[in-house]
Copies of this chain bind each other. A is one copy, B any other.
Amino acid sequence: MIGHGFMGAAHSQGWRVAPRFFDLPLAPAMQVVVGRDAGSTAAAAERWGWAESATDWREVIARDDIDLVDIVTPGDTHAAIAIAALEAGKHVLCEKPLANTVVEAKAMSEVAARAAERGVASMVGFTYRRVPAVVHARQLIADGRLGDIRQVRAEYLQDWLMDADAPLTWRMKKDLAGSGALGDIGAHAIDLTEFITGQRVERVSGIIETIVAERPLLEHGSGLSGTASTERGAVTVDDLALFTGRLSSGALASFEATRFRTGRKNALRIEVSGSKGALAFDLERLNELEFYDATQPETELGFRRILVTEAGHPYVGSWWPTGHMLGYEHGFSHQVRDLVVAIAGGERPEPSFDDGLHVQRVLDAVEQSSAADGVWVAAEG
């Protein structure tokens, strides 16, 4: 595993727990964690249960006893690591966004495609695809329960920047983070839409905005926290993105990604409206799926709150009895399970680097549209 921040903890938990609850065809061994600083990396290895730590990812990738590289570093380093790993014949799990630019993502996707022909797997970490309610939603749509998709609303709402004096972390700098709310959380809204509907966002029109444009510099601290300095610097990424997308089928989807929706902590929500029904999901209530079946009698119509905690629901049967809630981190176990099963079976895991590239293209098109007064811009190559 390259990197060991918040995502490192989540991925580690996935690797540790998945083999306990799922019958995996291969037994993953948590071998080595790689970081820039030897001390903190060794501590992370200890804490998260990796056998070793290292500071040079190139050396680790070169090792014969390493079969898979899990990349959880910031987006600007993904391309170099992933390409090197794939070319070294290692399977790769790369945290989203695939890269900070379309150019990088495209290169990664091409390398991944060639690697796949040699049986080397690659997967991008849109973990919310592994929430049982989300998979269940996709299945209901695939089964035709919603009929024709008429429109989609997808939003990812947070409020952690609402304090205008919160300090300037790496997530607010374009050179490190690539983009702001758009790339960080808007990417999830796009991928979720595409995953659930089975369609692609082909064209977009929208605007990105920086609501608080200047913030105190970060004095000390790392990651997403730290103390504020008296000096101020420019926020160079968006903190709000509003856009509309045209899906493959012609239906419209409207999107919002924001770090300023006061009171919304982690509300990745999607509502899909079809000719025969509708579905609504909110990550803040991740064990629930709202389903409206328009084929029921007129006087009995209503959104029903399905507790997605039955043995028949995706992944759920491997955990606890009926009615027992899963949490955020379970998605990482599911991701490990699906990846390992795909590798063992010689199948190409999803979402692929090509899926990741496509999301990157949509993000790029939104930025272009915003810069061009809102005109529609195609997301495809």
Q: Which residues of A contact B (CB under 8 A)?
A: 6, 9-10, 12-13, 16-17, 20, 47-49, 136, 140, 146, 150-151, 153, 158-160, 162, 164, 205-207, 209, 211, 224, 240, 242, 244, 251-252, 254, 256, 258, 260-263, 265-267, 271, 273-275, 277-278, 283-287, 290-294, 298-307, 309-310, 312-313, 319-330, 369, 373-376
Contacts and interface: CB of A to CB of B under 8 A. Distances in A.
Contact of A322 (B49, B258, B266, B307): B266
This chain: copies in complex: 4
Contacts of A287: 284
Contacts of A263: 273, 277-278, 292, 294, 301-303
B244 A207 contact: yes
A278 B294 contact: no
Nearest to A49: B20
A215 to B, nearest CB: 14
Nearest to A205: B374
A261 B251 CA distance: 12
A288 to B, nearest CB: 8
B17 A13 contact: yes
Given A150-B211, A292-B263, A240 B252 contact: yes
A267 B262 CA distance: 21
Nearest to A160: B322
Given A205-B207, A302-B263, A224 B49 contact: no
Q: Give the most central of A262, A283, A286, A319: most B CB within 10 Å.
A: A262
A206, A263, A303 — most chain B CB neighbours (10 Å): A263
A46 to B, nearest CB: 10
Contacts of A153: 256, 261
Contacts of A322: 160, 265-266
B328 A324 contact: yes
Given A16-B16, A262-B273, 13 more contacts: A20-B47, A153-B256, A205-B205, A207-B252, A211-B251, A240-B252, A242-B252, A265-B323, A266-B322, A283-B325, A298-B310, A304-B305, A374-B374
B252 A254 contact: no
Given A261-B151, A323-B158, A369-B374, A302 B305 contact: yes
A325 B327 contact: yes
A375 B20 CA distance: 49
A329 B320 contact: yes
Given A209-B252, A260-B150, A307-B265, A300 B292 contact: no
A164 B275 contact: yes
A266 B326 CA distance: 13
A326 B151 CA distance: 29
The 9 closest A-B pairs by CB, nearest first: A265-B323, A266-B323, A327-B327, A304-B304, A263-B292, A302-B304, A262-B278, A205-B374, A302-B306
